[in-house]
Amino acid sequence: MTQNDKYCTAVQVLALCHLAGVQPRLFEILIHLFGSPERIFKADRNSLMAINGMTAKTAKRITGTAALLKQADELHRQLKKRDIAVMTRFDNGFPQLLFELNDPPPLLYIRGRMPDSNKKTVALAGAENATNEGIEWTVKLAGAFAKAGVQIVASLSKGIDAAAHIGAKAADGVSFCVLDSGFDQIHPSEHISLVIDVAQSGGVISEYPPEQTYTTESFKSSNRLLVGLVQAVVVTELYHDSTRTLDLLSFCRQIGKLTFIMVDPERGALADEGSFAEAVSCGAIPLAGLEKMGDIIKALV
């Protein structure tokens, strides 16, 4: 794909997804049926209405998308001025692991860069109300992964996820942050400096346009993206109110993603009994001690 083709495709996908509101699952169906954004633009109402679950309102939006191309082109130019790159699923550098999802994102908004697809990558996750022990454990684990050349992906949530980024940087490694919102609505707002820091050496990734605010549904959707970017998920601390991590583990079970939960050899798992049992029921493999990190790396394919 030439640079011009890449640009045109990005504008087309912005028009369909950002301006016309086509969601990832529907976009996947449309691409399967029509083959390309350009052909979707040319689809007539009858062809669209033949799709199971299609509404007249959605079909009308899709058939009117061509009229939005000029607006999408200006949006793309404004994003570029702000150093926000747009990557679509048709780009050569698009992470192939994301195609394991039933609804891969049609486009991503990026500051910095994407993870290197030739390197091993793990997600670190855990409790927002983390203990000092959990944060220390996570920083050490992230640092050990970084020194082994493993890329770290985590959300921007407080506690364990934020500690993962800090640990990677402390070991001169890189991390990648998946946002639950757009770049203009960073959540939590006190982590804006962390976002800037991550973008300088690694990358910050969002499925949402800059103006998108945080919602309960957006963090669940971001969990799907976070899991899709990595070869394994590692949990370091977990409790019954760790809503995000429990949802993430449930999604890992649905798609068969490799998952681990760390156990301190001296103190046991940093988790309550019920949450630890739920993690194991979701397929999380308990590993005792930082030295077991090598077992995780060997399992990454």
Considering only CA atoms, give the Rg of the chain. 20
Tell me what pLDDT residue 162 has: 97
Structure tokens at 236: 């370091």
Q: Bridge partners of 124?
A: 234
Concatenated DSSP letters of 72-115: HHHHHHHHHHTT-EEEETTSTTS-GGGGGSSS--SEEEEEE-PP
At 28-45, the pLDDT tens digits run 999 999 999 999 999 999
Determine contact, residues 79/86, Cβ cutoff 8 Å: yes
Q: Bridge partners of 204?
A: 111, 177
Q: 10 Å Cβ neighbour count for 31?
A: 17
Tell me what pLDDT residue 120 has: 95
Determine contact, residues 214/180, Cβ cutoff 8 Å: yes
Phi, psi for residue 90 in degrees, rounded to 5: -95, -5
The ranges assigned to domains in the chain are 3-84, 121-299
Determine contact, residues 122/233, Cβ cutoff 8 Å: yes
Element (H, E) at 205: strand 203-206
How far is residue 238 CA from its own chain's centroid?
Answer: 20
Three-state SS at 14: helix
The proportion of the chain whose per-residue pLDDT surpasses 70, expressed as a percent, equals: 99
At 1-18, the pLDDT tens digits run 666 677 789 999 999 999
How far is residue 37 CA from its own chain's centroid?
Answer: 23
Determine contact, residues 124/164, Cβ cutoff 8 Å: yes
At 66-98, the pLDDT tens digits run 999 999 999 999 999 999 999 999 998 899 999
Tell me what pLDDT residue 277 has: 96
Residue 221, classified by CB atoms within 10 Å of its CB into exposed (0-12), middle (13-18) or buried (19+), is middle
The two beta strands, 107-112 and 85-88, are: antiparallel
What is 121-299's CATH topology? Rossmann fold (3.40.50)
At 232-265, the pLDDT tens digits run 999 999 999 999 999 999 999 999 999 999 998 8
**pTM summary value:** 0.94
Determine contact, residues 203/115, Cβ cutoff 8 Å: yes
At 146-194, the pLDDT tens digits run 999 999 999 999 999 999 999 999 999 999 999 999 999 999 999 999 9
Could you give the CA distance from residue 126 to residue 124 in angstroms, rounded to a whole number? 7
Q: 10 Å Cβ neighbour count for 136?
A: 14
102's CB contacts (< 8 A; 6+ apart) are 25, 28
User: Is residue 133 pLDDT above 90, yes or no?
Assistant: yes
Can you say whether the dihedral through the CA atoms of 18, 22, 26, 29 is positive or negative? negative
DSSP-derived secondary structure letter, 143: H
Determine contact, residues 253/283, Cβ cutoff 8 Å: yes
Tell me what pLDDT residue 1 has: 60
User: Is residue 267 pLDDT above 90, yes or no?
Assistant: no
Determine contact, residues 248/120, Cβ cutoff 8 Å: no
**Angle at which helices 243-255 and 273-281 cross, to 10°:** 20
Tell me what pLDDT residue 5 has: 72
